[in-house]
Chains A and B, each alone.
Chain A
């Protein structure tokens, strides 16, 4: 149990376009989902916390208007990178927490390349 599906696994987009990444909890309900960004040989950096039915909470330094997060249901959160630029190229990973707590399960990640 506790499977998180993230899609797409890889995406290449042109500079100035927007990209949407989906994160789904397949076999449990997630009150909270988290979005991370990981640069090569670096740790996972939390970008934002999304709660079902309310606005996301962004970490300091993360642009809310660039990284749009929507958590429309207890099983789905989306991250949209708007007006992407090459410096947005990175590995984006989502995580979901069970309603009953304690289980932080990660998706398989999305490699975004902006050209």
Chain B
């Protein structure tokens, strides 16, 4: 069964305290791995797509990396406005169509 597991479930950081979020997956036919940010009561906001092991992408204080079994979202010197739930999703092909399978997310809180 295809699975996406995110850890930790929740993370509290002080402003400026760097850390990493993990997304591990066991899937067949991975087409890509997505990271999204979701604020309360809102839809997910796209951050990154990674397609192959070794790939890295950066945006402001965020950097996403990918291996054959997991992805990391590194947050450098976070600010309170980075507080949100970060979702990881894998893109699969099933029955000739594509679909995203999401993890449960990591709720990040950055204290000033």
Q: Which residues of A contact B (CB under 8 A)?
A: 2, 4, 6, 32, 34, 41-46, 49, 57, 91, 93, 95, 97, 102-109, 111
Contact = CB atoms under 8 A, between A and B. Distances in A.
B84 interface: no
Binding site secondary structure of chain A: strand
Contacts of A95: 100
B100 A104 contact: yes
30 contacts: A2-B46, A6-B43, A32-B97, A32-B98, A34-B99, A34-B100, A41-B104, A43-B102, A43-B104, A44-B44, A44-B87, A46-B100, A46-B101, A49-B99, A57-B97, A93-B43, A95-B100, A102-B49, A104-B46, A104-B91, A104-B100, A106-B36, A106-B43, A106-B44, A106-B45, A108-B42, A108-B43, A109-B42, A109-B43, A111-B41
B34 interface: yes
A111 B42 CA distance: 10
A43 B95 CA distance: 23
Interface residues of B, number: 23
A2 B45 CA distance: 11
Contact of A107 (B43, B89, B91): B43
Given A43-B105, A108-B42, A49 B97 contact: yes
A44 B102 contact: yes
B108 to A, nearest CB: 14
A98 B43 CA distance: 17
A95 B82 CA distance: 23
A5 to B, nearest CB: 10
Q: Which 3 pairs, one residue from A and one from B, show the smallest C-beta to C-beta distance?
A: A106-B43, A43-B102, A43-B104
Nearest to A49: B97
Given A44-B89, A45-B102, A46-B101, 17 more contacts: A4-B43, A34-B99, A41-B104, A43-B87, A43-B105, A44-B87, A46-B99, A46-B100, A57-B95, A91-B41, A93-B43, A95-B100, A103-B46, A106-B36, A106-B44, A106-B46, A109-B42
